[in-house]
Amino acid sequence: MTTVFLGIGSNIEPEAHLRLAAAELRRRYGDVAFSRVYRGPAIGFDGPDFLNLVARIETRRSPARLLADIDAIHRLARRERGGGRFCSRTLDIDLLLYDRLIMSEPLELPRPDVLQYAFVLRPLAELAPDFVHPLTGRTLAEHWRELAPTAPALSPVDLDLEERAVTSRDCGRHRPR
């Protein structure tokens, strides 16, 4: 089995969409560990705050198969593509780390966001502080201690991801602004 870390975020009906993502990950992968949920500002554009967290799964699926699963979950959340990299999202799930795999095609692993953004690194370091980053040879906790003093403020959010079963019908239809 391979340990995989996924970054999950939303700023459109975020509570409902994060619950949908959590339920779908459990349905597809069984036991899933989640970090706390953090509220942080939109980065690169003016928009509502995001709620972000990190999930850890164990799987035998390839990175390509994981990306197909992620796309299917995005469709359930009615994620609309084409808004650019910096825009509001119903749901954004990113493959951050696939154990210690290093690759550049068809996707970059580890994802550079791991070391660049507090909303990724803080929950990741919380969930797996002793995990060694494949490129740097340093633990995620070490990286977080280095980034924390200059990182934007993130606030923990009390969001129960264990609640009732969630379906895409629980998430309102998003209309682009």
Q: Characterize the bridge pairing of strands 92-98 and 50-59.
A: unpaired
Instruction: Please compute the mean of the pLDDT values over residues 114-132 and round it to a whole number.
Output: 97
CATH superfamily ID and name for 2-159: 7,8-Dihydro-6-hydroxymethylpterin-pyrophosphokinase HPPK (3.30.70.560)
User: Which pLDDT score, from 0 to 100, does residue 83 have?
Assistant: 54
The whole-number pLDDT of residue 105 equals 87
The residue extents of the domains of the chain are 2-159
pLDDT of residue 43: 84
- 28 has a pLDDT exceeding 90: yes
pLDDT at 148: 95
- Return d(Cα 175, Cα 177) in angstroms, integer: 6
Give the model confidence (pLDDT) of 82-91 as tens digits: 555 566 888 9
Q: How would residue 175 be classed by pLDDT, with cut points 50, 70 and 90?
A: very low
